[in-house]
A and B are shown apart, each in its own frame.
Chain A
Amino acid sequence: MRLFLLMLLLISSQFAVSQNCTNTLTGTVVDLHDNSMLIDAKVTVSETQQIALTDFEGKFSISNLCNKTYTLEVYHAFCNSKTYKIDISGNLEKVFRLEHHLEELNEIILEGKHIKEITKTTLENKISKEELERNSAKSLGDVLNNISGVTSLNTGNTIVKPIINGLHSSRVAVMNDGLRMEDQDWGSEHAPNIDINAIDNITVIKGASALQYSGSAIGGIIVTEMAKTPVKDSLYGKTIATGSTNGRGGSITSQLTKSYKSGWYGKVQGSTKRFGDFNAPDYNLSNTGVFERSFSLRAGINQFNSGVEAYYSLYKVKTGILRASHIGGAEDQVRAINSAEPLIIEDFTYDIDAPYQDVEHQIARIKAFKKFNNLGTLNFQYGFQQNKRLEFDVRRGEDKDEASLDLKLSTHTLLLDLDSKISSTSKLKLGLTGQYQTNFADPSTGVRRLIPDYDKYNVGAYAILDKKINNQLLFEVGARFDYTYLDAYKFYRTSFWESRNYDTIFQDIVIEGDFGNQVLANPKLNFYNPSATAGVNYTFNDDYKLLFNYSLASRAPNPSELFSEGLHHSASRIELGDLQFNSETASKISLTLQRENNNFSFSINPYVNFIKDFIVIEPIEIQQTIRGNFQVWEYRQTNARLLGVDVNSAFKLTNNFKLNNQFSIVKGKDLSFNEALISMPAASTKNAIIYNNKKLNNLYLKLQSEYVFEQNEYPDNNFEVFIAETETTEIVDVSTPPAAYHLLSFNSSADFKLSNKTFLTVGLDVSNVFNTSYRNYLNRTRYYADELGRNFSVNIKINY
Chain B
Amino acid sequence: MKNIKFLTLALISILSFNACSSDDDTLPTPVNEEEIITTVNVTLTPQGTEGTVITLQKQDLDGDGPNAPTFNVSGDLIAGVIYDGSIELLNETENPAEDITEEVEEESDDHQFFYTLNGGLDLTTTYTNFDNDGNNLGTEFTLEAGAASNGTLTFTLRHEPSKPNTGLSDAGGETDVEATFSLNIL
Which residues in A have some Cβ–Cβ distance to B below 8 Å?
A: 301, 306, 308, 310, 326-329, 331-332, 335, 343-344, 366, 368, 370, 380, 382, 384, 394-399, 410, 412, 414, 436, 438, 441, 443, 445-449, 452-453, 489, 491, 493-496, 499, 511, 513, 515-518, 520, 566-567, 574, 623-628, 630, 724-725, 727
Residues B67 and A495 in contact, CB atoms below 8 Å apart: yes
Q: Which residues from chain B contact A511 at a C-beta distance below 8 Å?
A: 27
B65 A493 Cβ-Cβ under 8 A: yes
- Residues of chain A contacted by B88 (CB below 8 angstroms): none
Is B21 a contact of A438 with CB atoms below 8 Å? yes
Interface segment among B1-9, B73-81, B125-133, B139-147: the answer is: B1-9
Task: Name the contact of B30 in the complex, choosing from A368, A436, A491 (C-beta under 8 A).
Answer: A491
Contact B30 A516 (CB under 8 A): yes
Question: Is the Cβ of A366 less than 8 Å from the Cβ of B13?
Answer: yes
Query: Which residues of chain B are within 8 angstroms of A624 by Cβ–Cβ distance?
Result: 60, 68-69
A446-B31, A496-B66 in contact; A412/B14 too (CB < 8 A)? Answer: yes
Within 8 A of A (CB), among B16-35: 17-18, 21, 27-35
Please give the distance in Å from B161's CB to the nearest CB on chain A: 11
Number of B interface residues, CB 8 Å?
Answer: 63
A368-B10, A453-B28, A517-B62 known; A397-B174 Cβ under 8 A: no
Q: Is B93 an interface residue (CB 8 A)?
A: yes
Contact present for A332 and B63 (CB under 8 Å): no
Give the residue name and chain of the A residue nearest to B107 (CB). Answer: A396
Q: B21 contacts A410, CB within 8 Å?
A: yes
Bound: A326/B160 CA distance, A: 11
User: Count the A-B residue pairs with Cβ separation under 8 angstroms: how many?
Assistant: 170
Q: List residues of chain B with CB within 8 A of the CB of A448.
A: 31, 33
Q: Is the CB of A370 within 8 A of B177?
A: no
Known: A395-B35, A626-B36. 8 other contacts (CB 8 A): A301-B2, A327-B174, A343-B172, A399-B35, A446-B31, A513-B27, A516-B30, A626-B60
Q: Answer whether A366 and B6 are a contact pair too, CB < 8 Å, given A397-B103, A517-B93, A625-B64.
A: yes
B98-155 with Cβ < 8 A to chain A: 100, 103-104, 106-107, 110, 116, 118-119, 152, 154
* Cα–Cα, bound, A47→B38 (Å): 85
CA distance in complex: A508, B112 (Å): 47
- 10 A-B residue contacts at CB 8 Å? A306-B3, A366-B13, A380-B7, A382-B14, A412-B18, A443-B28, A566-B65, A623-B66, A724-B178, A724-B180
Question: Do A626 and B27 touch across chains, with their CB atoms under 8 A apart?
Answer: no
> Which B residues touch A630, using CB under 8 A?
64
A627: chain B residues at CB < 8 Å are 37, 175-178
Contact yes or no, A566 B64, CB < 8 A? yes
Do A724 and B118 have beta carbons less than 8 Å apart? Answer: yes
| A724 and B110 alpha carbons, distance in the complex (Å) | 22
Flag if A332 contacts B174 (CB, 8 Å). Answer: yes
CA of A380 to CA of B13 in the docked complex: distance in angstroms? Answer: 14
Contacts of B93 in A (CB 8 A): 516-517
B152 cross-chain contacts in A, Cβ below 8 A: 724
With an 8 A cutoff between CB atoms, is B49 at the interface? Answer: no
Q: Does B87 contact A (CB under 8 A)?
A: no
What is the CB-to-nearest-CB distance from A176 to chain B, in angstroms, rounded to a whole number?
18
Q: A382-B13, A626-B38 are in contact. Are A491 and B176 (CB under 8 A)?
A: no
Tell yes or no: B163 within 8 A of A by CB. Answer: no
Task: Report whether A368 and B65 are in contact in the complex, using a CB–CB cutoff of 8 Å.
Answer: no
Q: Which of B7, B18, B30, B119 contacts A443 (CB 8 A)?
A: B30
Which B residue sits closest to A335, measured CB to CB?
Answer: B172
Query: Contacts A627-B175, A725-B168 known; A447 to B33 CB distance under 8 Å?
Result: yes
Find chain A residues with CB under 8 A from B154 CB. Answer: 724-725
Chain A residues positioned under 8 Å from B64 (CB to CB): 566-567, 574, 623, 625, 630
Cβ A384 vs Cβ B17 within 8 A: yes
Known interface pairs A327-B174, A625-B64. Does A399 touch B34 (Cβ–Cβ under 8 Å)?
yes
Q: In this complex, what residue of B is CB-closest to A630?
A: B64
Q: Is the CB of A344 within 8 A of B172?
A: yes
